[in-house]
A and B are shown apart, each in its own frame.
Chain A
Amino acid sequence: QSALTQPPSASGSPGQSVTISCTGTSSDVGGYNYVSWYQQHPGKAPKVMIYEVSKRPSGVSKRFSGSKSGNTASLTVSGLQAEDEADYYCSSYAGSNNVIFGGGTKLTV
């Protein structure tokens, strides 16, 4: 099972919006609504920002939103702030009791 495809990098200026894509197949992203997004700052553990495609955990800023169309999921960060600069990973249930991650996107603000 191949990793989900993410752009290696993304960038935006403070206050702008940026969208990160996560492309899979009909066997993973397209087949299930179990897509999650994780934020990881250097030296820190990942933190879930979005789960089940578009749900936001308690405490996560409303500036983070998720969506899905076909085999591609997206994470949008609006009103970019310096603290949003981090690596972002998507993950999806891939059937047959398997979970896969994307290769990660480095967001520069």
Chain B
Amino acid sequence: QLQLQESGPGLVKPSETLSLTCTVSTGSIKSSDSNWGWIRRPPGKGLEWIGSIYYSGTTFYNPSLKTRVTISVDTSKDQFSLNLSSVTAADTAMYYCARSSTLLGHLDNWGQGTLVTVSS
């Protein structure tokens, strides 16, 4: 079973950049049949798809976040990362990384999530 683990700061100041990394273990990120994504859940709200990436580097972003989001992959470390710039309190959320077979596919492996709070 593929394992994913999020890591990064739990507290980010307003206007700064939120940076998270997802490490893939018991498997390789260099899989042609895998799409690696980020999803978040703000407190008291529903899930929101942030974006995803193939190991080749092809990215897809939520149009509402596109101007602030960058997702990248480091195949040498079996990791992919999320950068969200100019954060506000509205970006406070539990952030999850997950895998799907394609962008259209269902998310069949998830990390446990990491809580990021935006506050001064």
A: residues with CB less than 8 A from B are 1, 3, 6, 32, 34, 36, 38, 44-48, 51-52, 57, 89, 91, 93, 96-104
Contact = CB atoms under 8 A, between A and B. Distances in A.
B104 A46 contact: no
Given A34-B104, A46-B110, A102 B96 contact: no
Chain B interface size range = 20 to 34
A46 B111 CA distance: 9
Contacts of A89: 46-47
A3 B64 CA distance: 12
Contact of B63 (A1, A3, A46): A1
A9 to B, nearest CB: 13
Given A1-B64, A34-B104, A91 B96 contact: no
B111 A104 contact: no
B103 A97 contact: yes
Given A1-B64, A45-B112, A98-B63, A36 B48 contact: no
A105 B107 CA distance: 18
A51 B60 contact: no
